[in-house]
Amino acid sequence: MRLTKPTLFTNIPVTCEERDLPGNLFNQLMKDDPSTVKGAETLMLGEMLTLPQNFGNIFLGETFSSYISVHNDSNQVVKDILVKADLQTSSQRLNLSASSAAVAELKPDCCIDDVIHHEVKEIGTHILVCAVSYTTQTGEKMYFRKFFKFQVLKPLDVKTKFYNAETDEVFLEAQIQNITTSPMFMEKVSLEPSMMYNVAELNTVDTAGESESTFGSRTYLQPMDTRQYLYCLKPKQEFAEKAGVIKGVTVIGKLDIVWKTNLGERGRLQTSQLQRMAPGYGDVRLSLETIPDTVNLEEPFDITCKITNCSSERTMDLVLEMCNTNSIHWCGVSGRQLGKLHPSSSLHLALTLLSSVQGLQSVSGLRLTDTFLKRTYEYDDIAQVCVVSSEVKQS
């Protein structure tokens, strides 16, 4: 018999108005019913508990518990009773018996009881195989088996999206959908990062100095509802300085999800290692360190760029060219030498530019040429800046 938590008893309230033929009969019957809630008899949910009437559903990540009882129905004493319980899945066979030792004897109308537990880690068909061997009084060895088949269902649908920031940060959006038929309480949804990253959860807001969940104080997930969790991963300091190492990292970490259903039945899932598409920086990477959010029309403003040699083997000799666009105009000398840049090293570059068009403008037009290989790298749409008329005061 599967061991599961009981459920709250439900009844169907039958009532009528006092001027109807039954009068107050139905209301009085509901008040006298021991399964109803006193003072709220018309509610379907009662205060009594109901024992499980069937096997029910079992979901991936939950703990399967079963009670096994071997009863001697005969009038004879049997000896050397060995009870073995195995769980057969699509990929393996697991021994769940608490003890492998045989019981010396079993008298008539006596039982051997055992309770087994197993955290379900596979979906699909599972078969509980219970095998019993014993010896009769005449010395004959007997053996029989019983099979109990059940299906393990998928409780959650997890989808992930990755966003690679220019600052080597990686933003992970995890969409978690409850695909069961009952609500579940989301106890914990966390991201365990890989060894190269630190993680910050972005699922709380600070209110009056206290951190509150963005989903409220009651984090219930109704059937077929979806919730989105956001995480920010930053490279650890020892890896952030190695541009070539971070560039090729695809393994981000794994999600750890813990939930409860019904009367506190616990479930837990861990995803496999989440992998992103590594950004293709090429041999030279250009990123912005500082840029103002808002600038005045036709007034120069400064930005700071970081140029990184992502190659792990060769030194580069770089030349910077600045090409004007319809709205962005660079100030300074184009075609200047930046000098040699050694493998996995960086340099910071301060540049000045102005915009001749109002609105949200894209910073474009930078070109880096490696004089050793005669190769040019183009950088457009590096960032956006809001350009306003100088008559409008920036707040």
Tens digit of each residue's pLDDT (9 = 90 or more) over 337-348: 988 888 878 889
For tokens 């105009």, name the residue. 329
Within this chain, do residues 115 and 72 fall inside the same structural domain, yes or no? yes
Question: What is the count of structural domains for the chain?
Answer: 4
Cβ atoms 13, 2 nearer than 8 A = no
Domain boundary pick from 253, 278, 303: 278
* pLDDT at residue number 374: 86
Within this chain, do residues 162 and 150 fall inside the same structural domain, yes or no? no
Nearest alpha carbon to residue 106 among 142, 148, 130: 142
CB atoms within 10 A of CB 126: 20
Q: Is the pLDDT of residue 218 over 90?
A: no
Within this chain, do residues 149 and 172 fall inside the same structural domain, yes or no? no
Average pLDDT over residues 45-57: 75
* pLDDT at residue number 138: 87
CB atoms within 10 A of CB 139: 7
Q: Regarding predicted confidence, which is higher, 172 or 55?
A: 172
**Is residue 395 included in any domain, yes or no?**
no
Within this chain, do residues 47 and 72 fall inside the same structural domain, yes or no? no
Within this chain, do residues 243 and 295 fall inside the same structural domain, yes or no? no
Domain boundary pick from 107, 131, 154: 154
For tokens 């800046």, name the residue. 385
Average pLDDT over residues 292-304: 92
| % of the chain residues with pLDDT over 70 | 94
Within this chain, do residues 41 and 123 fall inside the same structural domain, yes or no? no
Rounded Cα gap, residues 126 and 120, in angstroms: 10
The CATH number of whichever domain residue 225 belongs to comes to 2.60.40.1230
Q: At residue 172, what is the residue type?
A: L
Within this chain, do residues 78 and 119 fall inside the same structural domain, yes or no? yes
In this prediction, residue 101 has a pLDDT band, given cuts at 50, 70 and 90, of confident
**Is residue 98 included in any domain, yes or no?**
yes
Q: Residue 275: left (phi > 0), alpha (psi -120 to 50), or beta? A: beta
Within this chain, do residues 174 and 106 fall inside the same structural domain, yes or no? no
Tens digit of each residue's pLDDT (9 = 90 or more) over 243-261: 555 556 678 899 999 999 8
Q: Is the pLDDT of residue 227 over 80?
A: yes
Within this chain, do residues 301 and 362 fall inside the same structural domain, yes or no? yes
Residue ranges making up the domain that contains 182: 156-278
The CATH number of whichever domain residue 365 belongs to comes to 2.60.40.10
- Structure letter (DSSP) for residue 2: B
Helix (H) or strand (E) holding 212: strand 210-213
* pLDDT at residue number 246: 59
* pLDDT at residue number 279: 63
Mean pLDDT, all residues of the chain: 85
Cβ atoms 269, 257 nearer than 8 A = yes
* pLDDT at residue number 392: 57
**Is residue 393 included in any domain, yes or no?**
no
Domain boundary pick from 278, 311, 337: 278
In this prediction, residue 197 has a pLDDT band, given cuts at 50, 70 and 90, of confident
